[in-house]
Chain A
């Protein structure tokens, strides 16, 4: 069950990171002079999405240890 949860979390953040990258690239292509600002916002958003996965991984690692 924990493995399934980890897989679901990976699926979720893959979609999330893909959406962030997609929209950031689209914005950069439309407005190349705003690339600097967009990169900053993109990195912040990516860090927050990544954090969700890291928290999931932490909780599930505890469950894995309990199961073994």
Chain B
């Protein structure tokens, strides 16, 4: 029962999500601000010695990016659940798999991609060697895509709950762990002069797996959440 213009529908849905995000710019700025604030605290806690900061920088940057993604993922479906848009999406003749992928893509474009783009600035503030910055941006570019896909699974499962905030962390964080391990390892590898391509390849493989499977879980989660 495929309605005509499936590709057109997903472009319109993506445009809708992006326009909605742009008209509420605070939601785009929030994760970036969170990134900046938390990162500014680390020199205060760890001491301002450049070598110490540089040693911790790969892990610190990746953990903050991960938490910023986690914080924003809760709200991916919230508004659309409350105003009934999700009901309409579920009744749509269009495949829900691609709709779920569209929501994840919109979330990534408004958080992960921006974090990856601004990360070099923050990396310099933590005294990360310049040679590791391309690896940082590349690993965040791929890694935040996976984080958005996983975050959407948690968001879809908890959207029907009044306070899903803590639950979504419990559901999602274990799945975030491999991304964090390989993402920060890529940056550390670049600092130590080890080839980073294998790490990025693993992140790319995880992203491919996520694109293939996560929308199925998101679709099922949405159907369960709206059934109540």
A and B pair up: no
